[in-house]
Structure 1
Amino acid sequence: MGPELHLQMIAHRTTELREEADSYRLARKAQEDGKTHSSEKRRRGLFGKIIPA
């Protein structure tokens, strides 16, 4: 394999890995946001039971 072809393969693979890492990061952030929102809903429900409206 020639050095130029090898360099192109490395550059392509690096791009693929960066895109995969970006999508993984977005998925983790969405998952964390979902956990935050669900815990906020639980707190509101708890306060609603303790302090009647």
Structure 2
Amino acid sequence: MQLVFSLFIESCDLFMVFPVFMTYIHRTIGCLHMTRLYIARLHQTDHVLPVN
């Protein structure tokens, strides 16, 4: 019975930590994506060539 209880506690901890972990990954990916867009925009303004 003690083992089942400890497993239940661990799974609850996992369910508490998992959304935070996923949010952290999502924000990191978002930051990387924004940085890439920013660098691309810098490169576009660097060589000012009309790309049509």
Give me the TM-score of the superposition, normalised by structure 2.
Answer: 0.77
Unmatched tracts of structure 2, length 5 or more: none
Please tell me whether residue 24 in structure 1 is matched to residue 8 in structure 2: no
Give the aligned CA root-mean-square deviation in angstroms. 1.7
Q: Percent identity?
A: 6
Relative to its length, the structure with more helix (as a share) is 1
Partner of 1:8: 8
Structure 1 segments of 4+ aligned residues over 6 angstroms from their partners: none
CA apart distance, 1:44: 0.4
Instruction: Could you tell me which runs of 5 or more consecutive residues in structure 1 were left unpaired when the two chains were aligned.
Output: none
